[in-house]
Amino acid sequence: MIRKATPRDIDTILDITKACAKHMISMNIFQWNEHYPNKNAFKNDITRDELYALEVENIVVGCVVISTLMDEEYLPIKWLTPNKSNIYIHRLAVHPKQQGKGFARHLMEFAENYAKLNNYISVRLDTFSQNKRNQKIYESRNYQKLGDIYFPKQSSHPFHCYELVF
């Protein structure tokens, strides 16, 4: 079940993202670190009513942020659609012990259906250039790679920006 996250979920979600960071680092993917994601980001997501938790048997095993806010880092990207009716996916995570069970796909389907039901024209996101698995997932879902942005506190490597147009 996917539901709106509450402040009570933040510590569990942080445990999930820390486990994901550790797992990615073990595969030489330095996408997340001690700076990101952090508690303040998730608090802001809840305040904006944009953080969703994925529960399996009443245990939170994943999360996703579905936002209408375009980060300033995205401004240089030549998006396929105008910057007026889009959603942005951030901080998608599934605990490593629960990966490979289709939960990330389920979270993506939820976000895409949310966008369609609410008449958004596209879904936008970024993923780390060194995370080939994520790139394959998004490309298999017909997202188009459009350009790169940088988050210096996370990595010197770029993040690829993607968009799915309905």
Q: Per-residue pLDDT tens for 18-59?
A: 999 999 999 989 889 888 899 999 999 999 999 999 999 999
With 90 as the cut, is the pLDDT of residue 79 above it? yes
Q: What residues are paired with 161 via a beta bridge? A: 126, 147
Contact 64, 137 (CB under 8 A): no
Q: What is the pLDDT of residue 102?
A: 95
With 90 as the cut, is the pLDDT of residue 151 above it? no
Region of residue 163 (phi > 0: left; psi between -120 and 50: alpha; otherwise: beta): beta
pTM for this structure?
Answer: 0.94
